[in-house]
Amino acid sequence: MENGRDDLPPNEGGTAIEGADRAFYGRRKGKRLRAGQEQRLADLLPLLRVALPTEGARLDLPGLFPNPVDEVWLEIGFGGGEHLAAQATRHPQVGIIGAEPFVNGVVKLLWAVDDGDLDNVRIWDEDATQLLAAIPDASLARVYLLYPDPWPKRRQRKRRFVSDETLSEIARVLRPGGVFRFASDIDDYAGWTLVRAARCDALSWTAEAVTDWKRPFPEWPGTRYEAKAIAAGRGPTYLEFRRLG
């Protein structure tokens, strides 16, 4: 589903690879970057980009950050970076890794990092499944997947990021008690995610009341994509799953 903007990915979570036999994520770049944006991309991204270890090795997550962190979070497909930057500002003691292949979105997050002097942010601008594979077991406190591309046509659905395989990987990298938070304005994708999460023995849906899935997550700053979806009459769904011990 396109959102009609050249400076945003089709949806917030543009990454959509599910495995070697799956199709790639959507477009990598929107409208042409300005000179200052190109310069920031060239100067700042290499300093913040996560360097994957050799094949079969795992990342030292706390070691990615210049200052000690209490825990590490991951946001898959951060879109324009509004949510990630807001969380990094609110939680300076937390290291946050953002995965997003859409160049224009990466540039927007770089601006927020530079402007806010956020030293607790790191970026992976390639396939998020490669990053997941390099993360140690039980090492993340939170994983976010916010407004991923729904690939609405039936023949496209294998391109959705949520699958049995990716949920298994997300459960693997979450520590016991850690949470996976998913948001979408597409009811079919929310149902798709619930079905697959129910098949993952390591994840438990945290909803206790019938309205819980309509309530934004705590400390939710919202995003431009979400505001546009609401204005178009598409109500968001917020799902949280806890990693069982």
> Annotated catalytic, 137?
no
- Phi and psi angles of residue 238, each rounded to the nearest 5 degrees, phi first: -120, 115
What is the Cα Rg of the chain in Å? 17
Which residue in the list 114, 117, 137, 149 is annotated as catalytic? 149
Residues in the chain: 245
CA 178 to CA 3: how far, in whole Å? 32
Residues 64/56, Cβ–Cβ less than 8 Å: no
Sequence-ordered alpha helix ranges (H) in 82-232: 82-90, 103-116, 128-134, 164-173, 187-198, 224-231
At residue 13, what is the residue type? G
Q: What's the token pair of residue 107?
A: 């540039």
Q: Taking the CA atoms of 56, 162, 145 and 114 in sequence, report the sign of the dihedral they define.
A: positive
Hey, which residues are catalytic here?
149
